């Protein structure tokens, strides 16, 4: 059983140092690789899953250790005063004592139950390991999505700030034109209104950015007041999965997803419990023991007569009734549990198939939306250029220029969102495929 993912002291130390450095800096800039590392090493949900796996692994080892015989060492003293009955039935007075020194080796096995219980515990440990890996992947994917949400908000604010700067420059030009009598004051007021609207959008975007940063800090288990800022270099579309046929993608997911591996292990455990209910009662329980040491004593105050003493015994037994032979209810319970795990596995496979199809559809759609937004940005830039040329040659085209700037800003914002959504969908598809 592979448990290497749970024993990385050097990696954990690196993550702690990285977390400390992030907490000490202002502003706290993080990139995507850092977010993924922190999410995978600094989250208590993942640690809880690891603890569950450690517990089930110990239970599995303990189940096999129950085959070991028990050994005890001891000293005993026994005395009797007064009436006693011998084996012929005669009652008489006696005064005697004895003492023992030695070891006792005991075996009390129900080999069927012990064997199948150990196999079942082994499968549960395997399931817990896969569930821990599932938890890790889910947390990392959540961190990635929240990181791109933050990146989208930060980039959107930057786009609007750029629009605000250009609009303010245009307002200054109009102020001069109004003072010279070559422009209408209404046009200046219209531009100033656009400036106020851009400032309002920036403030709203900053609010959304801070909320997204708080959500990311929660996933990374950083202090809630941490002001995270993303790396702008991550705002590029990155293809992570080569698109193939959906059937091929679904087949790949059903082979790689740790949830299905955990479900298969649970099915195996249920099958083992079914065999246990059917076969284990037919195997006899074994009781055996050996006591070796010395025995001494005698009448009244005698302490001598010490010599070797050895006792052996062995026995076989079958249990009849509940938990043993002819226990039909136990078999029915085991059958029902096996059927339940099989149904749950079937539901999980259907859910994974849906996740793969949805993630692939979103990735293809987001990629197409980027192309469409590129076209929209190019058209809007040309429209702004033409409006600016007209404004330089004649008056009365302020509204046209503002509408062109507004269309360009809207197209740029839409492209930022499309790139963020595309990268999120690629990571979602990668997680859906179990990679």
Dihedral pair phi/psi, residue 433, rounded to 5°: -85, -5
- Domains belonging to the chain, first-starting first, are 4-67+113-283+352-432 (1.20.1600.10)
- pLDDT band (50, 70, 90) for residue 427: confident
Pick from 76-85, 181-190, 198-207, 317-326: least confident: 181-190
Compute the distance between CA of residue 24 and CA of residue 31 in angstroms, rounded to an integer. Answer: 16
- DSSP notation for 298-328: EETT-----EEEEEEEEEEE--BSTTSBT-H
More confident residue, 24 or 393: 393
Q: Say yes or no to pLDDT of 414 above 80.
A: yes
Average pLDDT score over residue span 237-266 = 83
For position 183, what pLDDT does the model report?
64
* Average pLDDT, rounded, for the chain: 80
Q: For residues 116 and 275, is the Cβ–Cβ distance under 8 A?
A: yes
For position 393, what pLDDT does the model report?
58
For position 316, what pLDDT does the model report?
82
More confident residue, 114 or 297: 114
Compute the distance between CA of residue 294 and CA of residue 203 in angstroms, rounded to an integer. Answer: 90
Question: What is the percentage of the chain residues whose pLDDT exceeds 70?
Answer: 90
Pick from 177-186, 263-272, 287-296: least confident: 177-186
Q: Say yes or no to pLDDT of 346 above 50.
A: yes
Q: Say yes or no to pLDDT of 352 above 50.
A: yes
- pLDDT band (50, 70, 90) for residue 394: low
Check the CA dihedral 356-362-368-371 and report its sign: negative
More confident residue, 167 or 19: 167
Average pLDDT score over residue span 200-208 = 89
- pLDDT band (50, 70, 90) for residue 71: confident
In this predicted model, what pLDDT tens digit does every residue of 27-67 receive, in sequence order? 788 888 888 888 877 666 777 777 777 777 777 777 777 77
For position 44, what pLDDT does the model report?
66
More confident residue, 161 or 21: 161
Pick from 103-107, 116-120, 202-206: least confident: 103-107
The predicted model scores a pTM of: 0.73
Compute the distance between CA of residue 122 and CA of residue 129 in angstroms, rounded to an integer. Answer: 11
In this predicted model, what pLDDT tens digit does every residue of 269-313 receive, in sequence order? 888 888 888 888 888 888 888 887 777 777 777 777 777 778 887
Token pair 């003293």 is at which residue?
77
Pick from 167-181, 206-220, 254-268, 368-382: least confident: 167-181
Instruction: Give the CA radius of gyration of the chain.
Output: 38
For position 42, what pLDDT does the model report?
66
For position 182, what pLDDT does the model report?
64
Dihedral pair phi/psi, residue 287, rounded to 5°: -120, 125
Q: Say yes or no to pLDDT of 117 above 50.
A: yes
What proportions of the chain, in percent to the nearest 5, are helix, strand and coil? 70, 15, 15
For position 392, what pLDDT does the model report?
62
For position 4, what pLDDT does the model report?
39
For position 10, what pLDDT does the model report?
43
Most confident of 128-142, 280-294, 317-331: 128-142
């Amino acid at each position: 059983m592979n448990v290497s993912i749970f024993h990385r002291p050097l990696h954990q130390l690196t993550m702690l140092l990285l977390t400390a450095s992030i907490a000490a800096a202002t502003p706290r800039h993080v990139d995507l690789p850092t977010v993924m590392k922190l999410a995978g090493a600094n989250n208590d949900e993942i640690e809880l899953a690891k603890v569950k796996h450690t517990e089930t692994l110990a239970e599995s080892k303990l189940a096999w250790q129950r085959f070991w015989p028990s050994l005890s060492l001891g000293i005993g003293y026994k005395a009797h005063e007064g009436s006693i009955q011998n084996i012929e039935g005669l009652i008489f007075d006696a005064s005697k004592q004895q003492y023992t020194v030695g070891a006792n080796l005991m075996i009390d096995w129900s080999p069927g139950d012990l064997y199948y219980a150990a196999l079942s515990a082994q499968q549960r440990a395997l399931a817990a390991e896969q569930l821990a890996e599932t938890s890790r992947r889910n947390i990392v994917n959540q961190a990635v999505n929240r990181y791109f949400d933050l990146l989208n908000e930060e980039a959107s604010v930057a786009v609007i700030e750029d629009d605000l700067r250009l609009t303010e420059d245009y307002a200054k030009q109009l102020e001069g034109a109004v003072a010279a009598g070559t422009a209408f004051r209404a046009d200046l007021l219209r531009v100033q209104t656009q400036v106020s609207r851009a400032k309002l959008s920036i403030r709203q975007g900053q609010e959304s950015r801070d909320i997204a940063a708080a959500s990311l800090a929660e996933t990374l288990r950083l202090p809630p007041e941490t002001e995270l800022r993303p790396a702008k270099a991550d705002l590029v579309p990155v293809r992570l999965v080569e698109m193939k046929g959906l059937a091929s993608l679904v087949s790949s997911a059903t082979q790689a997803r740790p949830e299905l591996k955990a479900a298969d292990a649970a099915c195996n455990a249920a099958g083992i419990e079914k065999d246990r209910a059917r076969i284990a009662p037919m195997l006899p329980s074994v009781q055996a023991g050996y006591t070796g040491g010395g025995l001494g004593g005698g009448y009244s105050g005698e302490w001598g007569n010490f010599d070797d003493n050895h006792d052996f015994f062995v026995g076989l037994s079958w249990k009849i009734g509940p938990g043993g032979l002819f226990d039909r209810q136990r078999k029915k319970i085991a059958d029902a549990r096996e059927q339940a795990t099989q149904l749950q596995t079937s539901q999980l496979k259907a859910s994974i198939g849906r996740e793969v199809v949805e993630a692939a559809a979103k990735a293809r759609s987001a990629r197409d939306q980027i192309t469409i937004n590129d076209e929209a940005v190019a058209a809007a830039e040309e429209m702004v250029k033409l409006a600016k040329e007209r404004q330089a040659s004649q008056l009365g085209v302020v509204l046209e220029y503002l509408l062109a700037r507004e269309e360009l800003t809207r197209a740029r914002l839409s492209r930022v969102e499309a790139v963020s959504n595309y990268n999120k969908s690629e990571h979602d598809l990668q997680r859906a495929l179990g990679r």
